[in-house]
Chains A and B, each alone.
Chain A
Amino acid sequence: MVRIIGNFDIAEEVVQDSLLAALETWPEQGIPDRPGAWLMTTARRRAIDLLRRDHRYADKVALLERSTVNPDPPEADDRLRLIFTCCHPALATEAQVALTLRAVAGFTTQEIAAAFLVSEPTMAQRIVRAKRKIVEANIPYRVPQGPELVPRVDAVLAVLYLMFNEGYLSHSPATAMRRDLAEDAQWLTLLVDRLMPNQPEVLGLLALTMLNLARSAARFDAAGEMVLLPDQDRALWDRAKIAEGISTLERAGSMRAPGPYQLQAAIAAVHAESRSWQETDWPQIVRLYDALLGMSSSPVVRLNRAVALAQVAGPEVALGEVNDLAIALAGYHLLHSTRAELLDQLGEHQLAREARLRALELCQNPAERSLLERKLAG
């Protein structure tokens, strides 16, 4: 579209319209066999409608009407180009996320502002600046090729992962979980997979979103209170989604190019296949975290590993690991609540209480806050 119309704003508007149409139609009629061609047809039709209103574009309308939809080669799909352009590393990460939500997923500026806790004018400015940079710096509207492709796919996945996490467990004080945002991130990942098949890390992220969303029904009780993994009623987990997630992960694994999303999905898969918290294959989970740490040494991953380690080596060893992260994650509420759990297990209830109070000070999510408050009261 941008290529044909030569104007990022109009093309974006058109693509958005067709994506909205897709979001409305697909849930009822199912995803068409060739979503790319379908979207392109819809986008072309709408572009013609829009441009007809504007005489200056008369020539371009003629051009569009002459062009026929290219039947399906993935590189011809404009949505993919749009995603790669929105997730270009020359744009700031927040701008990448905002632009993807706006231009690809069709969110309003107001919705994006609300999801990321900034004012609407701030978000509007962020989006305008990003669009301007695309035009002024001449960020190309294309899917990168060759050695450039893998790092650029990583950048796209990072945006979708961020979007998914924000949806899955919001930072916002207003809502605990924004399933629409999480499901949209999953839908976009699915779209990327359709347009660019057989990318192991795309499949890894897709599997991760499936396995996490499969647990949705068990994550909150009837009163809307959050239920953590050890206490979840596993009968409420969606077995069909879990099976889908696992087979997606297996497809990724068969390509023998492991990556952080596949490993995180593998961890989620071990949980999904366990009958209970106690019967979980903890040594396997620790090994998967070790592999993940081998790829990127993130303190948050180390914290998660420590939780699994507590099941294998006991709370004292795990607490040592967690204390090592005290400086790196001083402002992260889960460091303090994890410490609290381990201290409780060691009988240090006073210290546990102090850690939990600190976690409460740092936590914004209402469901997590309520959980901490209940533990403090109990």
Chain B
Amino acid sequence: MKYVLLFVGTMEDQERFENMPADQMEAGMKAAGKWFEDYSRAGKIVGGEQLKGPQTATTVRFNDGKPIVTDGPFVESKEIIGGFAVVEVKDLDEALEMAKSWPAGPVEVWPAVER
């Protein structure tokens, strides 16, 4: 079954991350990279990306069918999505195991609609 793991955090987390000393940031990136690598090799990761900060996001919404483009993410909140992974595993417990071993903060686990 497919799940989407959303790597979430607060704005403060994001700022802290961006202002980290280079060696710390590198270590953090390395740990996250290794997580992706290990699970990809195990055949459990179908896709995933690290996202740039929310100040780089743009939202398109529709007003009477007319697209309106605005700056920033759709959901105005203090929490942000830093990245995601699409995983293919047996059940929720296996997805939760992956989430528990993610080295960089909280993870939301969403089951995907099966087609």
B102-115 near A? 1/0 per residue, CB < 8 Å: 00000001010000
Stretch at the interface among B6-14, B21-29, B39-47, B86-94: B86-94
Within 8 A of B (CB), among A135-156: 136-140, 142, 144, 148
In contact, B111 and A138 (Cβ under 8 angstroms) = yes
Closest to B96 in A: A90
Of the candidates B90, B92, B97, the one whose C-beta lies within 8 Å of that of A137 is B92
Shortest Cβ gap from B97 to chain A (Å): 8
Q: How large is the interface on A (under 10, 10 to 19, 20 to 34, 35 or more residues)?
A: 10 to 19
Shortest Cβ gap from A2 to chain B (Å): 12
Closest to B111 in A: A137
The interface size of chain B toward A, counting residues with CB under 8 Å, comes to 9
In contact, B96 and A140 (Cβ under 8 angstroms) = no
In contact, A144 and B93 (Cβ under 8 angstroms) = yes
Q: How far is the CA of A138 from the CA of B96 in the complex (A)?
A: 12
Shortest Cβ gap from A84 to chain B (Å): 10
Q: How far is the CA of A264 from the CA of B90 in the complex (A)?
A: 39
A88 contacts across to B, CB distance below 8 A:
92
> DSSP class of A's interface residues: helix, strand, loop or mixed?
loop
A90 contacts across to B, CB distance below 8 A:
92, 96
Q: How far is the CA of A140 from the CA of B97 in the complex (A)?
A: 13
A271-309 near B? 1/0 per residue, CB < 8 Å: 000000000000000000000000000000000000000
Shortest Cβ gap from B81 to chain A (Å): 19
B97 contacts across to A, CB distance below 8 A:
148
Within 8 A of B (CB), among A101-144: 136-140, 142, 144
Of the candidates A136, A140, A144, A148, the one whose C-beta lies within 8 Å of that of B90 is A140
A142 contacts across to B, CB distance below 8 A:
93
In contact, A148 and B111 (Cβ under 8 angstroms) = no
Q: Which one of B92, B97, B111 has the greatest number of beta carbons of chain A within 10 Å?
A: B92
B28-64 near A? 1/0 per residue, CB < 8 Å: 0000000000000000000000000000000000000
| Residues of B near any A CB (own CB < 8 A) | 1, 90-93, 96-97, 109, 111
Q: List the 5 closest pairs (A to B, CB-CB), nearest first.
A: A140-B91, A137-B111, A138-B91, A139-B92, A137-B92
Supply 16 A–B pairs (Cβ within 8 Å), ascending by A.
A88-B92, A90-B92, A90-B96, A137-B92, A137-B109, A137-B111, A138-B1, A138-B91, A138-B92, A138-B111, A139-B91, A139-B92, A140-B90, A140-B91, A148-B93, A148-B97
